[in-house]
Amino acid sequence: MRPFAYTSATTKEQALQASRPTSHYLAGGTNLVDLMKEDVERPDQLIHVTNLDYKKITSNADGGLTLGAMLNNADTANNRDVRTKYPLLSMAMLSAATAQIRNMATNGGNLLQRTRCPYFFDTAMPCNKRQPGTGCGAINGSNALHAIFGYSDKCIAVNPSDMCVALAAIGAMVEVQKPGGSSRMINFNDFHRLPGSQPEKDTTLMAGELITAIHLSKPIFSDHYYYLKIRERSSYAFALLSVAAGLQVNNGVITKAGLAMGGVAHKPWKLTKAEAYLAGKKPEQAVFGAAAAMEMKDAKPFKENKYKVEMGTAAIVRALTQAYEREA
Ligand SMILES: Cc1cc2nc3c(=O)[nH]c(=O)nc-3n(C[C@H](O)[C@H](O)[C@H](O)COP(=O)(O)OP(=O)(O)OC[C@H]3O[C@@H](n4cnc5c(N)ncnc54)[C@H](O)[C@@H]3O)c2cc1C
Ligand code: SF4
C-alpha cells in the first residue's frame, strides 16, 4: 500500500475544504481500502467522513424518508420505517455481502462501490477503467460475469450493488454537496453512467462532491415486492444477476410497476419498457413473460455470458410472480 495522508472531518465544510483531486473520502472503507491494498486506487489523502452528522433517517412531509449517506447499510435496512415503507430496498440491502460488512458499509459508499471485474483488480492486466487507454481484458477474455446491455467497446463491466438496483426500481434523489458550498440533487437514474468512451467514470458526480443523503419520496411497493438475487453461493457473493420488482395492484389490475436488474450493465438497469407495459395489465404469468421478453430481446451477450439471457428472462418472471403473490 502506498503512503497517504489521513484527515478526519467532523463537518461537511471541513471535508469539502480538505478535498483535492488526488484525495478520496473514506466512509466504511470496505471497498476503498481493499482497492488501495491491491494498488488499484492510489489516493494521496483520505478524508474520513463517517463522523459527519449524516447518520439519521428522517421523515419527509410527503411521508417519504431521507437516508443519511453516512449511516451504515445494516441500520438502514433494519430501520422500522425503511422496512415498512420501502421493503424492496430493505430486502435488497439485506441480500448484500455479510452482516459484518453491512455494519461497516455506508449508504454513500454503497452508491460508489466499484466493479468486481477481475481485470480491474489485477494491475498486471489491461483495463480501461483502471488505466484509460490500456484496453479491455474482458471483451475477448473471461467475460462470464459481464454486461449484456449498454456496454461500449471500451468496457463491459457491471455495477455490483444490490442496494442500487432497488433504488432504481423505486426511484430516489441523491443529495450532493459541492466543494464551493452549494448543493445539488441528482435523479438516481442519472447518478450512474454507461461506460461510453470514459469507462473510468462510474457516475455523474463531479470531483470533490460529497454525498450527504438519499431522498425517497412517498412510500411505494410496500405490499408487492421482491428482490431476486442469483449468485454462486448464498452469502458473501455478488449477484450474477438480480431483479428488483415492485407492483401496485388495485382491483386485480397493476396500476404501477417498478423493475430494475443488476449484474447486466454498467449501471443499475431500469426496465422502463416493461414498467410501462405492465401498467393496466392483470398480474398473470403471460403478462410477466411478455414483459420479460420485451426487455431481454435487446440483450447482446458475449462468449461466456450467454446464460444471462435465459436466466434474466426467467428471473424477471419469477421476481414479478413472487412480488405479486407476496403478502406484506
Ligand atoms: C467481501 C465483500 C462482499 C460484498 N458483497 C456485496 C454484495 O453482495 N452486494 C453489494 O451490493 N455489495 C457488496 N459488497 C460491497 C459493499 O457493499 C461496499 O464495499 C460498500 O457498500 C461500500 O461502502 P463503504 O462505506 O465501505 O465505502 P468506502 O469503501 O469507504 O468508499 C467507497 C467509495 O465511495 C467514496 N465515498 C464514500 N462515501 C462517500 C460520500 N459520502 N461522498 C462521496 N464519496 C464517498 C469513497 O471515496 C470510495 O471511492 C461487498 C464487499 C465485500 C468486501
Ligand atoms: S470490462 Fe471494464 S473493468 Fe473490466 S477489463 Fe474491461 S475496461 Fe476494465
> What pLDDT sits at residue 236?
85
Cα 222 from Cα 208, distance rounded (Å): 36
Quickly count helices (H) and strands (E) in the chain.
13, 12
Q: Whose CA is nearest to atom 4 of ligand 1?
A: 97
Q: Which ligand is nearest to the CA of 165?
A: 1
pTM of the model: 0.98
Q: What is the DSSP string of 265-328?
A: SSS-EE-HHHHHHHTTS--SHHHHHHHHHHHHTT----TT-THHHHHHHHHHHHHHHHHHH---
**Pocket residue to mutate for ligand 2, from 116, 125, 129, 303, most atoms within 8 A of Cβ:** 129
Mean pLDDT, residues 76-90 taken together: 98
> What pLDDT sits at residue 1?
84
User: Which ligand 1 atom lies nearest to the CA of residue 95?
Assistant: 8
pLDDT at 327 over 80: no
Report the separation in Å between the CA atom of 129 and the middle of ligand 2, taken as the mean of its atom positions.
6
Mean pLDDT, residues 281-288 taken together: 98
Domain ranges of the chain: 5-50, 224-325
The CATH number assigned to the domain with range 5-50 reads 3.30.43
pLDDT at 283 over 60: yes
Q: Which residues are CB-contacts of 302 (< 8 A; sequence separation ≥ 6)?
A: 139, 143, 146, 148, 156
CB–CB of 212/54 below 8 Å?
yes
pLDDT at 328 over 70: no
pLDDT at 245 over 90: yes
pLDDT at 3 over 80: yes
CA atoms within 13 A on the CB side of 82: 26
CB–CB of 257/221 below 8 Å?
no
Pocket lining: 302 vs ligand 2, CB cutoff 6 Å:
no
Mean pLDDT over each residue of the chain, to the nearest integer = 97
pLDDT cut 70: percent of the chain above it: 99
The CATH number assigned to the domain with range 224-325 reads 3.30.390.50
**Pocket residue to mutate for ligand 1, from 106, 206, 227, most atoms within 8 A of Cβ:** 106
Cell of 109: 459508499
pLDDT cut 90: percent of the chain above it: 98
Q: Whose CA is nearest to atom 6 of ligand 2?
A: 136
Report the separation in Å between the CA atom of 302 and the middle of ligand 1, taken as the mean of its atom positions.
28
Pocket lining: 145 vs ligand 2, CB cutoff 6 Å:
no
Q: Which helix (H) or strand (E) holds 128?
A: none
Q: What is the DSSP string of 203-250?
A: BSPPTT-EEEEEEE-S--SSSEEEEEEE-SSSSS---SEEEEEEEEEE
Report the separation in Å between the CA atom of 207 and the middle of ligand 2, taken as the mean of its atom positions.
22
> What pLDDT sits at residue 162?
98
Q: Which ligand is nearest to the CA of 119?
A: 2
pLDDT at 296 over 70: yes
Report the separation in Å between the CA atom of 256 and the middle of ligand 2, taken as the mean of its atom positions.
36
Q: Which ligand is nearest to the CA of 206?
A: 1
Q: Whose CA is nearest to atom 17 of ligand 1?
A: 110
pLDDT at 109 over 60: yes
Q: State pLDDT tens for residues 205-218.
A: 999 999 999 999 99
Cα 27 from Cα 32, distance rounded (Å): 9
CA distances from 242 to 153, 161, 165, 201, 231 (A): 24, 10, 8, 23, 9
Cα 24 from Cα 43, distance rounded (Å): 6
Q: Whose CA is nearest to atom 8 of ligand 2?
A: 127
> What pLDDT sits at residue 140?
98
Ligand 1 pocket: which residues have CB below 6 Å? 24-32, 34, 49, 69, 96-97, 101, 104-106, 108-110, 112-113, 160-163, 210-211, 236, 238
> What pLDDT sits at residue 326?
84
Q: pLDDT grade, residue 235 (50/70/90)?
A: confident
Cell of 256: 404501477
Pocket lining: 117 vs ligand 2, CB cutoff 6 Å:
yes
> What pLDDT sits at residue 199?
98
Number of other CB atoms surrounding residue 254 within 10 Å: 24
